[in-house]
Amino acid sequence: MFMSQFHATTIFAIRHQGKGAMAGDGQVTFGNAVVMKHTARKIRRLFHGKVLAGFAGAVADAFTLFEMFEGKLEEYNGNLQRAAVELAKEWRSDKVLRRLEAMLIVMDDTHLLLISGTGEVIEPDDGILAIGSGGNYALAAGRALKAYAGEHLTAKQIAEAALKVAGDICVYTNDCIIVEEL
């Protein structure tokens, strides 16, 4: 439902076999026609390396959200769920922040959450989330891999493979993939 709102990236995250992994591509697109960068890092480690956060959307907006989310993590001593809810509330209620065009996926060693500017904080039932223009492709690939090859693949392997599938299909997603694990 949210996956096709924002262009120029794909972020995929999975909790699998007690581990977490998040993958993102490196493409930055200017408008709809020009690739400006191939190796951007859209995933960050936050709160002493214990939290992963990935963004889809406008880059400047995402940096603002990373900083705000990191502040909330510090304020709530690393409580991911509380920090996510507080960020979503502030994001939705502030007139300036409401205009930010980005989404975040955040995860720690136990939780995986989607945070949106409309106030949603969603934890998936199946331990998989994807956002961005290639999000639906990565989500479908990740779900298939987890269901049919999950016992033979790690979370990191599934995340990387899901991004490769998205990169083969989505023109806003490239094959410069960065994967972070928890």
pLDDT in tens, 56-68: 887 777 888 889 9
Active-site residue list: 9
The CA–CA distances, whole Å, from 149 to 59, 145, 153 equal: 34, 5, 6
Average pLDDT over residues 97-112: 87
Residue percentage of the chain with pLDDT more than 70: 95
Torsional sign, CA 48, 51, 85, 6 = positive
**8 pLDDT more than 80:** no
Q: Is 16 exposed, middle or buried (0-12, 13-18, 19+ CB in 10 A)?
A: buried
* pLDDT band at residue 3 under the 50/70/90 scheme: very low
> Taking all residues of the chain, what is their mean pLDDT, rounded to a whole number?
90
Neighbour tally for 124: CB within 10 Å: 16
**14 pLDDT more than 70:** yes
Alpha helices in the chain (DSSP H): 59-75, 80-93, 135-149, 155-169
125 Cβ contact list (under 8 Å, min separation 6): none
Task: Report pTM.
Answer: 0.92
**1 pLDDT more than 80:** no
The CA–CA distances, whole Å, from 117 to 144, 149, 153 equal: 29, 34, 33
Query: pLDDT value at position 154?
Result: 97
Q: How far apart are CA 70 and CA 60, in angstroms?
A: 16
| Residue whose pair of structure tokens reads 């001593």 in the numeric block | 77
**12 pLDDT more than 90:** yes
* pLDDT band at residue 167 under the 50/70/90 scheme: very high
Cβ distance 179 to 22 under 8 Å? yes
* pLDDT band at residue 30 under the 50/70/90 scheme: confident
